[in-house]
Structure 1
Amino acid sequence: MENEKIEQTWKQKLLFYTTAFFVLLGIFSLFSFLFLVPFVIDPAFTTIFMEFDEEPAHCVTLRTDRRIGASNCSWTSCREGCTKDIYTCTQIFVNYKAANRTNTSTVLSTVPPQALLMREKRAILDDYDYDEDDLSNDHEEWTFQEAKLLPNVKGCGYPPMLNCSIFLKTHQEIGSNFSCYYSKVDPSLVISHLDMWQVYMNLVYAMAIPIPSFIISVVYLAFAYFKIYNEDEEEAPLEKNAEDIDMEGDSGPVETPIPPASGGLTPASEAFREDLASFGHHLKVAMVDDMSRDSLVDGVSIGVPIGGSIGKTMTTSISTTGGPVANI
């Protein structure tokens, strides 16, 4: 008998597609979160923890070192690809002066008015060529000397948002003037670009979308597994039993055939019991016929055939004395 194709109801179809949607949502949200951790979430948290001053400082390139070899390149000012191995590196060192009014007034108070006027002109003219000796010896002017310059806190990125060739060309020339942002936690670290609003938004987008999506998917799948599908499995046997009962009512009671006895007779078998009852009945009939006679002789022999499967004739001898038949 061929198995009949069971048509699914709209409720079962809706449950199937909903479960499939949440399974795919959980998988994609998990993998997207793992992908965003090294590229977005970790740099954003590091930028926040380093406490960069949002007010730009004035930076001047002090020197540029070009190194070759993995042992010599512990860091580089810019690299395209955060997971890329570094074998050649360009290290840019800068001096910067914080744009803090208190510190600036303290530093400038020791500077003569003529020198102050010259330094203000230097800050305005970006194409001014600083002398390296002046940059390294003017201790009173700089907040920090020989700080490491990076485009961001990790020093890496991907085009077109970050092009290392353009970055190095802009900042590697000695005496180059540009705005920078220094870290209050590590003053030796300086970055050229900072947008804290964008940093916070990237962190929110990277965490507020994948994490809740994954949690919602897990909650639904757990609820569906322990509640919805369990109820369907419990209802299925009940419906099947009801169908079986209806089929039995339509076809009428089914008699269970008694299997025939095989082998020898035993006292517990049905055939033996039937034969024994038949023998008792024939014996009673024969005794009533004999008692109706007028006289009895000694040694009356009564041959009673026993029916059934025994197939033998039993002979019973009844001896009587001179007394009446009623004593038997």
Structure 2
Amino acid sequence: MADEEAIPPTFAEKLLFYTTASFVLCAIFSLFAFLFLVPFVIEPAFTTIFMQFDIVPALCVTTQVKHLVGASNCSWASCREGCTKDLFECTQIRVNYKLGNSTNITETEVAELVRVERALRKDYDYYEDKSADKSYPDMIEEDLPEAMPTGLQGNDSEWYFTGARLFPNVKGCGYPPILNCTVFHSKYKPIGNNYTCYYSRVDPGLVITELDMWQNTLNLVYAMAIPIPSFIISVIYLTFAYFKIYNQEEESEQAPLKSDAEAMATGDDEKPTTPGSDTFREDLACFGHQLKMQLANEKPKEETKSSFVNA
């Protein structure tokens, strides 16, 4: 028996296939995009919101810089390019900040900071920071003299907080070209530099140099409003297509292909009559048998008729 010829798919079948394939790809890409955005956009954006940074900038002055080597010493770094790599060398910048509306600190206050810095050099060891060609004391918070107390000082003090950690953003890390640690260090590392900064109401010892709450919220909305609905819609369509569309097509294709035993068991007299079906072959064999019997019955009659004519 010759193979049946392949029936080309209809336009509706092609449309259903490409639509399903598109939703499958949409679900896959949406899931991977969401997993990629969680550590780089979504989690930092939520952290920025939860830390409750004051949108009114404070006045910051760099007071202490430490350059440390070793994973045990680098518990944090003011700036690092790459948020997942381990730290074996770090630069820690600490600042004093005060609340105010002015963007400048008086020269007297800056001179006082420089005077305190010079006084510290008499009592503590130093290391050489070759990148900036300037020496800074390598000390810990417990070593600071009473002239520079650390922590929250309150509004009555000259400084609202002293010894705060400085970061470019809430995570203190990023990737070029958005974040360049060389530029960051050159701008905020020199002792006595004054600039605006933003402190956290939840953790006043955390200070960042850049804050844009509108852009932060917009990034969070884009990162969640696009991949999550796309994934949900794709899953809903694929579920509907699997349980409704494709199941109905399979049932409609299997309905005319009942076996003869099923037809006899159900009392169904209607049998498929396609050229390759069992019913067609049985009918053909039955017709051949009937034709053979008819020819066999006609042959004796013809012999009897011819004998009668000869007599």
User: Which TM-score applies when normalising by structure 2?
Assistant: 0.70
1:197 aligned to which of 214, 228, 232:
214
Match of 1:156 in 2: 173
Match of 1:28 in 2: 29
Match of 1:216 in 2: 233
Match of 1:133 in 2: 116
Match of 2:302 in 1: none
Match of 1:84 in 2: 85
Aligned residues: 239
Give the secondary-structure state (helix, strand or coil) at the position aligned to 1:59.
Answer: strand
Q: CA deviation at 1:131?
A: 1.3
Q: CA deviation at 1:93?
A: 0.3
Sequence identity percentage: 56
Give the secondary-structure state (helix, strand or coil) at the position aligned to 2:8.
Answer: coil
Q: CA deviation at 1:38?
A: 0.4
Distance 1:4 1:134 in 2: 91
Matches within 5 A, 1:88-103: 88-99=89-100
Runs of 5+ consecutive residues of structure 2 not aligned to the other structure? 119-145, 259-269, 290-311
Q: CA deviation at 1:208?
A: 0.3
Give the secondary-structure state (helix, strand or coil) at the position aligned to 2:164.
Answer: strand
Distance 2:65 2:100 in 1: 24
Deviations 1:204-241 (A, max 9, x none): 00000000000001000000000000000010023446
Distance 1:243 1:99 in 2: 93
Match of 1:52 in 2: 53
Distance 1:132 1:122 in 2: 10
Q: Quick check: 1:129–1:176 contact (8 Å CA) kept in 2?
A: no
Distance 2:206 2:272 in 1: 80
Deviations 1:272-318 (A, max 9, x none): xxxxxxxxxxxxxxxxxxxxxxxxxxxxxxxxxxxxxxxxxxxxxxx
Deviations 1:240-274 (A, max 9, x none): 4688246658995754999xxxxxxxxxxxxxxxx
Give the secondary-structure state (helix, strand or coil) at the position aligned to 1:244.
Answer: coil
Q: CA deviation at 1:99?
A: 2.5
Q: How big is the alpha-carbon RMSD for the aligned residues of Structure 1 and Structure 2?
A: 3.0
Q: Quick check: 1:181–1:191 contact (8 Å CA) kept in 2?
A: yes
- Output the amino acid matched with 1:82: C
Q: Quick check: 1:70–1:88 contact (8 Å CA) kept in 2?
A: yes
Larger radius of gyration: 1
Matches within 5 A, 1:117-266: 120=106, 130-133=113-116, 137=147, 140-240=157-257, 244-245=272-273, 252=283, 255=286
Deviations 1:119-174 (A, max 9, x none): 64568xx9x79415189847721000000000000000011111000001100110
Q: CA deviation at 1:3?
A: 3.5
Assess, with a 3 A threshold, how the Cα gap between structure 1 residues 13 and 66 changes in structure 2: closer, same or farther: same
Q: Quick check: 1:73–1:87 contact (8 Å CA) kept in 2?
A: yes
Q: Which runs of 4+ in 1 moved over 3 A?
A: 118-123, 134-139, 239-243, 245-258
- Output the amino acid matched with 1:244: P
Q: Quick check: 1:182–1:188 contact (8 Å CA) kept in 2?
A: yes
Give the secondary-structure state (helix, strand or coil) at the position aligned to 2:272.
Answer: helix
Match of 1:310 in 2: none
Q: Quick check: 1:129–1:175 contact (8 Å CA) kept in 2?
A: no
Assess, with a 3 A threshold, how the Cα gap between structure 1 residues 4 and 119 changes in structure 2: closer, same or farther: closer
Q: Quick check: 2:59–2:99 contact (8 Å CA) kept in 1?
A: yes
- Output the amino acid matched with 1:80: E
- Output the amino acid matched with 1:166: V
- Output the amino acid matched with 1:68: V
Runs of 5+ consecutive residues of structure 1 not aligned to the other structure? 102-117, 259-328
Q: Quick check: 1:152–1:192 contact (8 Å CA) kept in 2?
A: yes
